[in-house]
Chain A
Amino acid sequence: MGAVYRARDMHFPHIEKLVAVKEMILQTNEPDVRKTIVENFEREAHILASLSHPSIPRIYDYFTEDIKSYLVLEFIKGKDLEAIINDMQDFIPEDQIISWAIELCEVLEYLHNHKPEPIIFRDMKPSNVMINQSNHVVLIDFGIAKPFEAGQKGTIIGTEGYSPPEQYRGEASPLADIYALGATLHHLLTRRNPQLEAPFSFGERQIQEINPGISPELVDIVNTALLYNPEERYQSAKEFKEALFSVAQKTGALKRISIPHSVPADSSKIKPLWTFECEDEIRSTPLYHDGVVYIGSYDNNLYALSAATGEFIWKYPTEGSIVGSPAIHEKYLYIGSEDYRLHAISSRSGKVVWTYFAKGPIRSSPRVAEGHVFFGGDDAHLHAVNLITGREAWRSEAAAAIRSTPFITENAVYFGCESGDFYCLDFSGQMKWRFKAKRGITSSPIVQKGVVFMASIDWTVYALDAANGWVIWRFRMGKGSISSPCVLDKLLFIGSADGFIYCLDTQTAKEIWRFRTDHQVSSSPMVYKDSLYCGSVDGSVYCLEYSSGRLRWKFQTDGPVIGSPIAHEDILYFGSTDHNLYALVT
């Protein structure tokens, strides 16, 4: 056996990142056995590290020293169910148990559906389930620890009292976890610890005899999970969960209790401050300036709306869809359109000042610096246009259409193009260096401390030396990305078509967390205060705790959210392809 330490990760001196360190001590002196155990430990740690679920603690690190192996994992603030049972004077309310049970089914479902092989938790019992401070369940103590505890009572075979009969024959299947969850629920409902009773004697302790307040439907569910023959139990965690849901609906439990992760009811709490409907999709990111929100739409218009009320102020019609976001400089707005033009517009009146013609649609967002506006075009040129006159200062040819938004530093312009070429130009348009990714770069770069960060459709996030374009690191995602990175301190956030929002360490390329949405993430993450906001093609905007990736809430729209949210004075603004611009109070 070993201890679990509460520890602080000193890699993050600026934020207090607590971790749990589990220490496991080898119980054998046989070198070969030891070697196998340590190898197994490392392999399992590796698998666990790849899991991403709100009810599974994240694994940050693991290492072995002599006869001790250590696992560094997310620190869960809360209390385990066994302690909760022991501390309660009375029975735990049925509604509460149902909501925890649904979450436990969800996490088992996630584990059992793991590819290539299902993960069997093997040791479901109250002391292995933590209830965190938001009243959600978190599984602790995965089977990973088991080989270290050989010889302890009830280890390899799970825990006596909770494990099904077949597990005593050395069989572990998803159905064993279902039984153990049934046993756990039985314990919660009756306060009778099965470890102190004869094995498989639940039938002798009928729930309703001990706790008559429990609805018969729930009793049936628990009894089904506890059937001796695996074939007669629920055949999957999903089936188990659905049974619980139906009871919850019947008894109204879900309305009275805190909501599990997967129920999107959270978003019902978030009511928009206002919405504004355009005539077509919004795929761009709004701009806030001086009490006004500006947004371009596929309906060809750039709108100016009151940030406080959503009231219409003016609209400026272009002759093509607007995909990019406007830039503002002094009194003027600059916006590109698929009508091949860059429009300079008075921010007050919405009237045109000048237009500049490119030789193709403009989908890149303009950036203003040094008296010029810089933007890319589908005509494969980066344009530098004088702010006052609207005349071309220079344009620089790229290998393909430029849809990324240029990043401007004090002495260079950085942008990617659809062929995968990435350029660094000086302010006269001369190329300083060029880098080539394997596929297109639509993601807009960000340069911080001399390092360029951006993603490509080639499934990779790149960190390049801003001085010479050398690759410092690559991070491989599950698919390509057109999302633009956001960097804060030493953390980088980016979305990917694999459906995840990633958080990486900018110095080491190590993944700190990842969060799964239900579809591609083309939107670019944005951090405001201690939250990260990002849209997904699943139609939601997610609010995550940026340091941990925990879901705070999500807000569902009626179409994919491609653009990115912005925030100003605690109000979040974003557009959706459902035609609406939303303002939410964070």
Chain B
Amino acid sequence: MPKRLSDIFSTLLSGHKKTDQTTVRIKRTRVEKPKDIPTKELPVITTPHLITGIGHSEGLQRDHNEDTLFTLTTCISGENGSQPFGIFIVADGMGGHQYGSKASGIAARVMAEHLLEHIYKPLLCYPPKQPKDALQDIMRTGLLEAHQSVIKLAPGGGTTLTAAVVIGQQMTLAHAGDSRAYAIHHNQHMEVLTRDHSLVKRLVELNQITQEEAISHPKRHVLYRALGQGEPLEPEIITSTYPNNGYLLICSDGLWSVVDEDQIYKIITQAPNLPVACQQLIEAANTAGGPDNIAIILVQSVGQNGS
């Protein structure tokens, strides 16, 4: 028993301290496999659940962080099988010093509370209930509630909000602004699930300007939809299948506007685990100049095939 415990500790520690010393010790104790836990080369995992990594940085050119992120993963594994559940939110605030961070904080909290109340709580009932409303409606009202709260509590401030609720194989997203959610498939495909509500992005979508022109366009930071900014707000709501053996990535434009998708894909699929992947993504954004705050949530669903 103690032997096992020490193995566990050494494994745990190795995740945090990447010192040579630790590495050497692990090699000796033949527990290299557990070190790889969050990677795809694992032995078959039968119980479906979600694991996450996060990254949060001011970037190199800002002195404070206006981004807020929220993650929650739970699992009820019991008589009706395993029901993995996750809420993931990235909000990228704007509008100057206090109001930006205030707006993103309000939005993320209001949204998270709304989703817990209306989606997660019914799950905890016995027998488990279904939510009263359609998931997409709950997401929509949550985002609009967050929008109203920002208007009330941080007037003048604005924020993007990209929220995903993962339940089993389905994920439902609510989105306004230019943060992004990607479904990352194993065939090198980064599927963007959200639409950037930025004027410049819309022009790209409509083939009016090229990607290259967009990168340096003077209005590239102008959003035509954001929380706290004008009414009416029409959130985008979409339900998609969780990518088989893949990842869900939600990030602010501090990442995606400076690190290209190939590089993001490479980092995520080659990193030993999710937290390291997120840290490496932040480093990549900062290497590229780190012009903006960076918020990253990376989610992996494991065990789906084994169930």
Contact = CB atoms under 8 A, between A and B. Distances in A.
Interface of A: 5, 7-11, 19, 21, 42, 63-66, 70, 435, 449-451, 463, 465, 467-474, 507-509
A387 B168 CA distance: 34
Given A8-B207, A435-B130, A472 B222 contact: no
B134 A465 contact: no
A450 B83 contact: no
Contact of A63 (B133, B170, B225, B241): B225
Nearest to A509: B136
A471 B130 contact: yes
8 contacts: A65-B199, A435-B130, A465-B135, A472-B134, A473-B237, A473-B239, A509-B136, A509-B237
A468 B168 contact: yes
A450 to B, nearest CB: 5
Contacts of B224: 63-65
A21 B205 CA distance: 11
B206 A7 contact: yes
Contacts of A42: 232
Given A451-B170, A471-B130, A508-B238, 6 more contacts: A8-B206, A19-B206, A42-B232, A435-B130, A473-B136, A508-B237
B241 A471 contact: no
Interface in B115-170: 130-131, 133-137, 167-170
A582 to B, nearest CB: 39
Main secondary structure of the interface of A (DSSP, over half): strand
A456 B224 CA distance: 37
A225 B88 CA distance: 62
A471 B133 contact: yes
Given A42-B232, A66-B222, A474 B134 contact: yes
Nearest to A20: B206
Contacts of B199: 65
B166 to A, nearest CB: 11
B206 A472 contact: no
B135 A468 contact: no
A21 B232 CA distance: 20
The CB with the most chain B CB atoms within 10 A, among A11, A449, A507, is that of: A507
Contact of A5 (B137, B167, B206): B206
Contact of A463 (B133, B207, B239, B241): B239
B208 interface: yes
B222 A450 contact: no
A435 B238 CA distance: 22
B36 interface: no
B208 A5 contact: yes
A192 to B, nearest CB: 38
Contacts of B206: 5, 7-9, 19, 21
Interface string B213-231: 0000000001011000000
B240 interface: yes
Nearest to B136: A473
A449 B130 contact: no
